[in-house]
């Protein structure tokens, strides 16, 4: 056996697994500012605003790549008109 730390254990030591029922805290945060409605409608369906707000500052061209990835890869339901507005709005909300 190549892994020294492995030890075969008696199976009887652990009682049967208990069911688990928990709740996750709500995330009440929302984007604010002039583009809040656009950002909340298109981004927060899948993730908290923090995913945007904690990124390093990026220009609109870089945000455009991210919007494209969200639509093409992760199938975010963002329509063409909103997709055109989002890069500038994302860059602006970072600067707030």
Structure tokens at 78: 């963002």
Q: Which of the stretches 7-15, 31-39, 80-88 binds another protein when contact is defined by CB under 8 A?
A: 7-15
Report the residue number, 40 or 66, with the smaller CB distance to another protein.
66
- The residue among 90, 96, 93, 95 whose CA lies nearest residue 78 is 90
DSSP, collapsed to helix, strand or coil, labels residue 50 as: helix
Q: Where are the alpha helices (DSSP H) in 45-79?
A: 50-53, 60-72
CB of 94 to another protein, least distance (A): 8
CB of 52 to another protein, least distance (A): 10
CB of 71 to another protein, least distance (A): 10
Q: Which residue has the tokens 């298109």?
A: 42
Give the residues lining the site for another protein (CB under 8 A): 1-11, 14, 16-29, 45-48, 50-51, 53-58, 62, 66, 73-77
């Amino acid at each position: 056996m190549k892994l020294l730390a492995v030890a075969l254990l008696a199976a009887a030591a652990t009682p049967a697994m208990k069911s688990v029922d928990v709740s996750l805290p709500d995330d009440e945060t929302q984007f604010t500012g002039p583009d809040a409605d656009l950002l909340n409608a298109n981004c927060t369906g899948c993730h908290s605003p923090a995913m945007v707000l904690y990124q390093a500052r990026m220009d609109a061209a870089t945000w455009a790549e991210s919007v494209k990835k969200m639509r093409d890869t992760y199938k975010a339901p963002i329509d063409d008109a909103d997709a055109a507005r989002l890069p500038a709005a994302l860059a602006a909300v970072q600067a707030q």
